[in-house]
Amino acid sequence: MQQNRPAGYAFLLEKYKLDAIPNWHSSRIAPTGTRSEIIQDGLVETTYPRSYWPGERDGNHLEFALKYDGINLATLALIFEVIDAASLRDWIASKPTGKYARKIWFLYEFLTGRQLLLADLTQGNYIYLLESNKYYSARWSSGQEIVQRQRIYNNLPCSPEFCPIVRRTEKLAEMERIDITQRCEEIVTAYPPELLKRALSYLYRKETKASFEIEHIKPDSSRTDRFIALLTTAEHRDFCEKEQLIEIQNSIVDSRFCDSDYRQNQNYVGETVTPLQEKIHYITPKPEDLTGLMNGLISTHRKLKQERNMPVVVHAAIIAYGFVFLHPFEDGNGRIHRFLIHNILAQRRVVPEGLMFPVSAAMFNNPILYDRSLEAFSVPLLKLVDYELDDSGDMTVSGQTGIWYRYIDMTAQVEALYEFVIKTIDEELKKELDFLVGYDRTKKALQEIVDMPDRQIDLFIRLCLQNNGHLSTTKRESHFGMLTDDEIERMEAVVRTNYAS
DSSP string for residues in 215-245: TT----HHHHHHHHHHHHTTTT----SHHHH
pLDDT by residue (tens digit) across 308-318? 889 999 999 99
d(CA 244, CA 126): 40
Closest CA to 107 of 164, 168, 156, 166: 156
Residue 274 pLDDT > 80: no
What is the residue type of 487? E
- pLDDT at 392 (0 to 100): 84
- pLDDT at 476 (0 to 100): 92
Residue 427 pLDDT > 50: yes
d(CA 154, CA 80): 19
d(CA 415, CA 411): 6
- pLDDT at 354 (0 to 100): 76
Residue 1 pLDDT > 60: no
What is the share, in percent, of the chain residues with pLDDT greater than 70?
Answer: 98
Question: What CATH superfamily is the domain 190-427?
Answer: Fido-like domain (1.10.3290.10)
Average pLDDT on 241-251 reads 95
| 315 SS3 class | helix
Pairing mode, strands 268-274 and 127-128:
unpaired
| 154 SS3 class | strand
Residue 500 pLDDT > 80: no
Residue 273 pLDDT > 80: no
d(CA 162, CA 156): 11
pLDDT by residue (tens digit) across 16-30? 999 999 999 999 999
Average pLDDT on 238-248 reads 95
- pLDDT at 140 (0 to 100): 59
Average pLDDT on 286-300 reads 97
Pairing mode, strands 395-398 and 277-283:
unpaired
Residue 202 pLDDT > 90: no
pTM above 0.95, yes or no: no
Kindly indicate the confidence band of residue 144, based on its pLDDT and cuts at 50, 70 and 90: low
- pLDDT at 194 (0 to 100): 85
Average model confidence (pLDDT) for the chain? 92
Average pLDDT on 218-226 reads 87
Burial 228-237 (b: 16+ CB within 10 A, else e): eebbeebbee
Pairing mode, strands 25-29 and 43-48:
parallel
Residue 249 pLDDT > 80: yes
pLDDT by residue (tens digit) across 88-111? 999 999 998 899 999 999 999 999
Provide Rg for the chain, Cα atoms: 27
Average pLDDT on 67-83 reads 98
Helix (H) or strand (E) segment spanning residue 282: strand 277-283
| 324 SS3 class | helix
